[in-house]
Amino acid sequence: MDYWNSTAETMPRERLESWRWRRLSRALDHARRSSPFWNARIPEGITSLADYTARMPLLYKADLLAAEEQAPPYGTWPSLDPSLGVRHHQTSGTSGNPPVRTFDTERDWVWCVDTFCTALYANGVRPHHKGMVCFGYGLLAGFWGMHYALERMGCTVFPSGGLDSRTRVRLLVEQRIEVLGLTPSYAMRLIETAREMGVDLAREANVRIILAGAEPRSDFTTRTIEEAFGARVFNAAGTTEFGGVFMFECPSRRNACHINEQSCYDEVLHPDTKQPVGYGEEGVRVTTGLSREGVQLFRHWTEDIVVRRPHTECGCGRTWDFYDGGILRRVDDMRKIRGVSVTPVMIEDVVRSFDEVNEFQSSIRTVRGLDTVHVRVDAGELAGPAADALCGRIAEEFKREIGIRPVVELAPAGSLPRSQWKAARLHDERVLTPHG
């Protein structure tokens, strides 16, 4: 097994804990000395990791937004003068909240890129590979780090920011590109585009490694992407607030997403009691950054639902624990429909199991006082009895797998939104009542 940095990735657990405490301790000192926000929050005299988790308050998104509002645009939480920033990034603000804005110093950016290198190297990327990054190259941090990581590793990178899907497919074939970075949603879009162009990606292109991040995906979607490209799909995730990649999937064990424990100190807490849960139990990921100097993060309540497992269950030699299945969902993703818990990934798993479906959208509506799931599917040019039969089969499978019979209808070909970034395919349109 090769590692990007064997010292950090295979450090014996006891030494790793000691090292991380030293790093956390100096990070706390820096924050207290330099940030009014953190100076007010960090308790005096923290003596150990255990003491830290017992006394340091949790940080919620609302706290960050309130700090931003006090001193726009970055607020009172930076630990260095923002004029030292060499990059600005911000969240999309799709949840209806204002975006969280951050900056990276030159040193922070080098670290961020290195977290991508750690992931990509683990996934099999090596110097001289060709890589293409499919995203908008805008304010979102997104795959910016992957672009620079490919350069740093000695790969040739194809920045495809302004290209349409057809041009990207052509580029994949012409340039024999081996590494691809995109969201699972956009991978499905490229597959659909290639089919329209009559291109068999598995046969005519040369993609071997796909880093598909930024959104939860079903196992079925992963398999579909792998079969269409003839490539291995790896999961990875980072956040704008954290500033780098905090987990990446290991080639040794499917769905084992190692936590980059060099760069973060993660806890998993019960969503209601906020107490630690054990290995194998679902909880909310709470993260502390150990590396960044400009914008620091301590005990951030991420709302990501994860299941943590010990590193020994992977067998790759890394001493970093892993999240089984990566980010399973967000706290607010779960919907109760007639007593049944439903998540977007559950719906995706059912609908994507039908080869005829190119894209879909789903919604929960109140019909005559009853919560009802509506699914619209784009099945290309399929029409008439064949289309009716497909809708019927999807409804049957939905009922069998999830326990609710949905209303399934056909959408005109190409009419449903395709996403390059985080796709929203479940919309809650229920009418709230005073008792609801």
Partner 1 sequence: MTNASSPLTAEQELHLIESYRTLTHLADTVQVPAVLASVRTCLAELRLALDGQAIDFDYYREPTRVLVA
CA angle 156, 160, 165 (to 5 degrees): 130
Q: Give the shortest CB-34-to-partner 1 separation in angstroms.
A: 6
Query: For partner 1, what does the binding mask look like between residues 357 and 396, x meaning CB under 8 A?
Result: ----------------------------------------
Q: Give the shortest CB-56-to-partner 1 separation in angstroms.
A: 19
- Interface residues for partner 1 in 23-52 (CB under 8 A)? 23, 26-27, 29-30, 33-34
User: Helix 144-152 to helix 106-122 angle, to the nearest 10 degrees?
Assistant: 80
Nearer to partner 1, 8 or 277 (CB): 8
Q: Give the shortest CB-84-to-partner 1 separation in angstroms.
A: 6
Nearer to partner 1, 147 or 285 (CB): 147
Distance CA(210)–CA(187), nearest Å, equals 9
Stretch that binds partner 1, among 81-89, 119-127, 135-143, 335-343 (CB under 8 A): 81-89
Q: Which residues share a beta bridge with 181?
A: 133, 211
Q: Give the shortest CB-259-to-partner 1 separation in angstroms.
A: 16
- Interface residues for partner 1 in 243-262 (CB under 8 A)? 262
Residue written as token pair 């003068």: 81
Query: For partner 1, what does the binding mask look like between residues 87 and 126, x meaning CB under 8 A?
Result: ------------------xxx-xxx--x------------
Q: Is 61 in the site for partner 1 (CB under 8 A)?
A: no
Contact of 14 with 58, CB cutoff 8 Å: no
Q: Give the shortest CB-12-to-partner 1 separation in angstroms.
A: 7
Cα Rg, the chain, nearest whole Å: 22
- For 186, the enclosing helix (H) or strand (E) is helix 184-197
Q: Give the shortest CB-28-to-partner 1 separation in angstroms.
A: 11
**Residue 358's Cα: distance from chain center in Å?**
22
Nearer to partner 1, 26 or 176 (CB): 26
Question: Would strands 359-367 and 232-238 be described as parallel, antiparallel, or unpaired?
Answer: unpaired
Q: Give the shortest CB-113-to-partner 1 separation in angstroms.
A: 9
Distance CA(260)–CA(116), nearest Å, equals 10
Nearer to partner 1, 20 or 217 (CB): 20
Nearer to partner 1, 23 or 208 (CB): 23
Q: Give the shortest CB-78-to-partner 1 separation in angstroms.
A: 11
Stretch that binds partner 1, among 10-18, 325-333, 387-395, 409-417 (CB under 8 A): 10-18
Nearer to partner 1, 111 or 234 (CB): 111
Q: Is 12 in the site for partner 1 (CB under 8 A)?
A: yes
**Range 299-311 burial, b when 16+ CB lie within 10 A, else e:** bbbbbbbbbbbeb
Cα dihedral 305, 9, 319, 150 sign? positive
- Interface residues for partner 1 in 262-301 (CB under 8 A)? 262, 291, 293
CA angle 96, 101, 107 (to 5 degrees): 150
Cα dihedral 204, 206, 208, 214 sign? negative
Taking CB under 8 A as the criterion, the residue among 46, 80, 316, 395 binding partner 1 is 80
Distance CA(299)–CA(29), nearest Å, equals 15
Which amino acid would we find at residue 401? E
DSSP codes, 264-283:
EEEEEE-TTT--B--TTSEE
Contact of 37 with 67, CB cutoff 8 Å: yes
Taking CB under 8 A as the criterion, the residue among 13, 17, 19, 49 binding partner 1 is 19
Query: Measured in Å, how far apart are the chain's first and last C-alpha atoms?
Result: 54
Residue 96, helix vs strand vs coil: coil
Stretch that binds partner 1, among 15-23, 138-146, 163-171, 228-236 (CB under 8 A): 15-23
Nearer to partner 1, 22 or 254 (CB): 22
Residue 431 exposure: Cα atoms within 13 Å on the Cβ side:
6
Nearer to partner 1, 293 or 324 (CB): 293
Distance CA(51)–CA(45), nearest Å, equals 9
Q: Is 176 in the site for partner 1 (CB under 8 A)?
A: no
Taking CB under 8 A as the criterion, the residue among 51, 81, 227, 428 binding partner 1 is 81
Nearer to partner 1, 152 or 418 (CB): 152
Q: Which residues share a beta bridge with 124?
A: none
Backbone angles phi, psi at 344, to 5 degrees: -55, -35
Binding site for partner 1 (CB under 8 A): 5-8, 10-12, 15, 19, 22-23, 26-27, 29-30, 33-34, 80-81, 83-84, 105-107, 109-111, 114, 262, 291, 293
